[in-house]
Structure 1
Amino acid sequence: MLDQQLRLIGSAWCTSGEGQAMVEMVAAGLLDLSPLEHVVHPLERVNEAISGTARRNGWFANLIVSPLATA
């Protein structure tokens, strides 16, 4: 993104520490993430993932770009 002079403006759910606390709560069974709709995109489709944020299913869509996902 830097080479192309592009910016992605958005929001983050939490800080790294808060994210770790969430992971620990999920592992302990204290936090249920089942209401989230997970939409996983492979790395080569990152542009589709970014442009798809406007078409997500309300607040509960979790868009993920993963180098391990397949097209």
Structure 2
Amino acid sequence: MGPGAPSQAMLDAVGALRRGGRLVDVGGMSAPISVNMHQLMCAQISLIGSLWFTVAEGQDMAAMAAAGTLDLSVFDHRVFPLDQVNEALALAERRVGGFVNVVVRP
């Protein structure tokens, strides 16, 4: 789920789970959701959050990037000079996720 995703999409995913189902959220949905805990308890449904990777895994990825063995071409970098920080913030606020990185370079 991305930052702009509607909470109903998460609730629909929970509703689609069968008894003993597990939902793992690896996105960054920022909207709070209200879940029916009785439904989760009676159906033994689990909601699991994910941090994507550990610190050690992040260090390994940084080392691979430095060595040139990690393909970073999927990322879309939008670089702004410091005097355009307001434009950068506006883009960061309206982006809907994905691999767009907003960078302010001093």
**TM bucket by the smaller chain?**
0.5 to 0.7
Instruction: Calculate the TM-score normalised by the size of structure 1.
Output: 0.55
* C-alpha spacing 1:16/1:64, structure 2 compared with 1 (3 Å): farther
Take 1:16 and 1:41, find their aligned partners in 2: how far apart are those partners? 28
* C-alpha spacing 1:14/1:39, structure 2 compared with 1 (3 Å): farther
Q: Relative CO higher for 1 or 2, CA cutoff 8 Å, sep ≥ 6?
A: 1
Q: Where does 1:1-71 land on structure 2 (aligned, <5 Å)?
A: 20-56=59-95, 58-67=97-106
Structure with max Cα Rg: 2
Q: Secondary structure at the match of 2:98?
A: helix
Following superposition, the deviation at residue 60 of structure 1 comes to: 1.2
The CA deviation string for residues 11-54 of structure 1, in whole angstroms up to 9 with x for no partner, is: xx989876654331112233211011111000111111011124
- RMSD, aligned CA: 3.0
Instruction: Calculate the TM-score normalised by the size of structure 2.
Output: 0.40
Following superposition, the deviation at residue 61 of structure 1 comes to: 0.7
Letter in 1 for 2:80: H
Instruction: Work out the percentage of aligned pairs sharing the same amino acid.
Output: 53
Structure 2: unaligned runs, 5 residues or longer? 1-51
| Count, aligned residues | 55
The CA deviation string for residues 50-70 of structure 1, in whole angstroms up to 9 with x for no partner, is: 111244474111110001xxx
Structure 1: unaligned runs, 5 residues or longer? 1-12
